[in-house]
Structure 1
Amino acid sequence: MRKISIAILLTLFFYTISFAQQKNTNQIIKRIETYITELEKVGFSGTVLIELDGKKVISKGYGYRNLELKERNTPNTIFGIGSLTKQFTSSAILKLEMQGKLTTSDTITKYFQNVPGDKSTITIHDLLRHQSGLPSNLGGDYDSISETDFLDTLMKLSLRSETGTNFSYSNIGYSLLAIIIEKVSGETYEQYLYENLWKPAGMEKTGYSRPKFDDDLIAIGYGKNNTVWGKPTRKNWNGNEPYLNLKGNGGILSTTEDLYKWNKALMTDSILSKEAKHKLYHPKLRPNEENDSYYAYGWDVHKTARNTFQVWHNGSNNIFYADFMRFIDEKTTLIFMSNKSNQDLDRLNFEVAKIIFEKNYKPIIPIADNETNQIFSQEIIETILSNGLEKATIKYKSRPTKTDVIENILNAKGYELLSQNKFDEAISIFTMNTIAYPKSYNAFDSLGEAYMNKGEKVSAIKNYEKSLQLDPTNGNAEDMIKKLKQ
């Protein structure tokens, strides 16, 4: 009997492992494609790009960029990316720091005149991390406003909290950063980003107006029941760019393919240095701030159960929605954009991440957001408020076939009641959601919050624990449980 060499045995061994890994990857891809196809059936419209182990495995469009003309979304469809804009603003600031033109420790008094005392200690670092204390907005995205009026109004605003002490999301803080970029670089915000970030990354379909977008490829935004919102480029802009209520914090247009090029560029040191990227993801934290979940420079950073980092951000104007999720250590990237935002469908990346990293996970397919279900959801809410939860539960359980409540409609109503301190009514609404969606971590998280606001700690902890059981990555539930037990 001939002997088989060790080299041959090792070759066979590694081939077997490689084949098994490939088979597993193929199964994951198939599960993802099946899931997104099901989402399309209940209303998802957009483009999805998935990278696994450093390789792009899915890049596909779903639904329509123009419903009337039946023009489908493709990887070349252009969407508004909302607050994903912030990662480009923060990267531009770090690029300027690399060029020796500013430092993130600079206070805004270096760049603006007549800064009042309460705002004189605000640094670029504070603006990047949303800890300046500035409010979120001055006005609507498309409201006309001059730079002088913007700055005058902003400087007169009361701070929400002392600078550097708390997280408070501020869009106008990033608008200030856009002005600083222009002052320091001597270029327009968009031109500086193109020359220093987008062009080196090969991104020719990203910007406000500089790319001279093919108008046919710009998706039309749709609201509920497919009402036409229109294209971002046809809204009230300040010439070739948005007014300062939006500039620097949102409004950029792009494609999933271009964002993938940006992802690839960030995996190298070609645009941002290793030191700059470390600062981008791991800036100096506030005293007593949790090291495993925080807002960095234009990115939300969260440590996973696998001891890796999830780097994430989304962007939305409640019509367009964009989501960019990166597992840098695991060379996995999830990007999707939609021209028809829906709270249930907007969790696509979180569900796909579970498909990838949890072997037996079964993704949640939301209920169709159609007229029948919208009407029934309102009927259930009215029954709860007029006749109580018990009657509403009976009505729900005897509902007609192909009829259901929509989770986000009940959730929104619950929070509306919570904001009015109508705790019992809110608890009933949220409880109805847990009955209708017993596997929804978010339904139990909301119910936990309602009990917490009412002061019923035992019930709050119980529901937060149930939420965490359904989704072990729910950092909010984990934090709330610790806080309540203290």
Structure 2
Amino acid sequence: MKKIAVIFIINLLFCFASFAQVENSAKTIKKIKTYLTELEKVGFSGSVLVEINGKVAISKGYGFSDKANLIKNKPSTVLCIGSITKQFTATAILKLEMQGKLSTDDKITKYFDNVPIDKSNITIHDLLRHQSGLPSNVGKDYDKISQAEFLDKVMNSKLLFEVGKEFSYSNIGYSLLGMIIEKTSGKTYETYLYDNLWKPAQMEMTGYSRPMFDKSKIAIGYYKDDKIWGKPTDKEWDKTAPYWHLKANGGVLSTTEDMYKWHKALKGENILSKDAKNKLYHPKIRTEENYNEPIYGYGWDVAPTNRNTKRYWHNGSNNIFFADFMIYIDEDVTLIMLSNKSHQTNFDKLNFELSKMIFEKNYKPIIPIADNETNQKYSQNMIEIILSKGIEVGKEIHKKRPANTNILEYILNAKGYDFLSQKNYDKAIDLFIMNIFAFPKSANGFDSLGEAYMNKGDKTLAIKNYEKSLELNPNNGNAKEMLLELRR
């Protein structure tokens, strides 16, 4: 009886703690709305949906889907979801397994001819978990290629490691899964997904071309300087879908509204059974892995939080469009962001920032520096000053900079790594020091500086900076790994 009472109290406290994280939702929603408005001012363009306590709190577009015609992004705007496509492919495989048409334990030799010996032990499970050893790509997204040519390139590629032994993200592995879906179902990839996933989820604005999209609703992709990249449907496709370099591993078009419908459908059992969903998020893992640490499931990154809850997450990008889908399944919080403008690293952590705003009571989000021509020129000028006149002169000039002008961290970081690759450690260190002078709370800045000192052979300063990076970002796995190595 005492044991039952203790368990009940613990569960009660846990539920209360989880609720307390998001109970001031009205205040949190207001903060998030203000934050997103500020992001729009510094260049964010796309659509965002935020679910808090199981209810949609924000669903809004920002920036333009067509700047020349002043057409704003909306929750109904169609954007590219990139590698989030993989969770559709993974779910379709599990659906076929439920229908008795395949097993995730099947070897690819069952579905493809002329598989070489080194790849003959690859299973569907290995492809789903990126542990096949296959490289990431054998061509560019929109390169024209036949299925036979694609398979020939894949089968003749060199494995990165022995099948099933390690993790290496492989787009071509998911393209093979797409082919298996077509072979076992007798339907095209897109038709099978619509009939078995999207239609049951009431997703009528998701696919490659099947929805017969109103082209005016498809967002134009922009480079960061606002030059036009174009619409995904303007690129060279194999009639109704991209070629196999992209098909089934990326490139599906959708809206934040439809992706939210997908989230709701996955919570039920209309698409996948309870056992199949458990396999989606918690498949068989390698011996060195642990479910209490981040793992890659089937098309999802699954990680524990510091609140003893689970986070399901995946993103996708072609360096123009960017998509991010994050679910805190135990806490009824979902974050969906789709963007149509290249932004380097300015907004790729948006959902992580929103998470902190939701779960950390006093968290103040960081507004990125505007990646505009003024700041690009200023950053390049600062590099020249530091290299010619020294770091201290650079610091003094930076203190007196004009209003609304700042360094773009990624520009100095990239130049620093150029010098690091040339073993010009002192120049790299100066640029990294300037970055942390400008951004003293940048975990990435201290991580880069730690790496530069480590390569130079200054173990003490390397440890100091990696420790600072880890203090700022306790989830920095690279800093943890480097500190272990340095302390040996």
TM-score, with normalisation over the residues of structure 2? Answer: 0.91
Cα distance in structure 2, aligned partners of 1:129 and 1:427: 38
**What corresponds to 2:13 in structure 1?**
none
**Alignment-mate amino acid for residue 310 of structure 2:** F
Any idea what SS the aligned residue of 1:97 has?
A: helix
Q: CA deviation at 1:468?
A: 2.5
Shift of 1:261: 0.5
User: Which letter does structure 2 place at the counterpart of 1:463?
Assistant: N
Shift of 1:309: 1.4
Are residues 1:67 and 2:67 paired? yes
What residue in structure 1 maps to residue 252 of structure 2? 252
SS at match of 1:225: coil
In structure 2, the partner of 1:230 is 230
Aligned length: 469
In structure 2, which of residues 377, 389, 392 is the aligned counterpart of residue 390 of structure 1? 392
Please give the secondary structure, in 2, of the residue aligned with 1:322: strand
2: distance between equivalents of 1:20 and 1:167? Answer: 37
In structure 2, distance between residues paired with 1:385 and 1:159: 42
Q: 1:306 to 1:256 in 2, by over 3 A?
A: same
Compared CA separation, residues 431 and 167, structure 1 to 2 (3 A): farther
Q: Report the CA distance between 1:302 and its aligned residue.
A: 1.6
Asked if residue 315 in structure 1 is aligned to residue 324 in structure 2, the reply is: no
Matched-pair contact (CA < 8 Å) for 2:104–2:124:
yes
1:149-181 deviations in whole A, cap 9, x for unaligned?
111111111112222122111111111111111
Shift of 1:479: 4.3
- Match 1:448 to one of 447, 450, 461: 450
Report the Cα distance in structure 1 between the residues aligned to 2:238 and 2:194, rounded to whole angstroms: 19
By how many angstroms is 1:109 displaced?
1.2
Name the counterpart of 2:381: 379
1:379-458 matches, cutoff 5 A: 379-458=381-460
- Residue 346 of structure 1 aligns to a residue whose secondary structure is coil
Listed one character per residue, the Cα deviations across residues 45-103 of structure 1 (whole Å, up to 9, x for unaligned) are 11000001111110001111010111111110000111111111111111111111111
Contact conserved, 2:311 with 2:327, CA < 8 A, in 1?
A: yes
Taking a change above 3 Å as real, the CA distance of residues 479 and 264 of structure 1, as seen in their structure-2 partners, is: farther
**1:300 corresponds to:** 301
Q: Which amino acid aligns with 1:469?
A: E
Is 1:288 the counterpart of 2:280 in the alignment?
no
Distance 2:311 2:337 in 1: 16
Alpha-carbon spacing, 1:259–1:52, altered in 2? closer, same or farther (3 Å): same
**Alpha-carbon distance in structure 1 between the residues aligned to 2:456 and 2:102:** 47
* Alpha-carbon distance in structure 1 between the residues aligned to 2:81 and 2:413: 25
Q: Counterpart of 2:325?
A: 324
- Report the counterpart of residue 41 of structure 1 in structure 2: 41
One-letter code of the match for 2:396?
A: I
1:27 aligns with 2:24: no
CA RMSD, 1 decimal:
2.1
**1:340 is matched with which residue?**
341
CA shift, 1:130, in A, is 1.2
Q: Check if 1:469 corresponds to 2:455.
A: no
Q: Which moved more, 1:118-127 or 1:318-327?
A: 118-127
Does the 8 A contact of 2:22 with 2:52 survive in 1?
no
Structure 1: gaps spanning 5 or more residues: 1-16
Change in 2 beyond 3 A, CA 1:275/1:420 = farther
1:171-250 equivalences under 5 Å are 171-250=171-250
Determine whether 1:357 maps to 2:365.
Answer: no
Residues 301 and 425 of structure 1, relative CA distance in 2, 3 Å threshold? farther
- How far the C-alpha of 1:481 sits from its partner, in A, is 3.4
2:147 partner amino acid: E
CA distance in 2, matches of 1:478, 1:133: 25
CA deviation map 1:412-454 (0-9, x unaligned): 3334444455444333322221111111222223333444455
What is the aligned-residue identity percentage? 64
Assess if the C-alpha contact under 8 Å between 2:21 and 2:361 holds in 1: no
**Equivalent position amino acid for 1:138 in 2:** V
- Give the residue type in structure 2 aligned to 1:327: Y
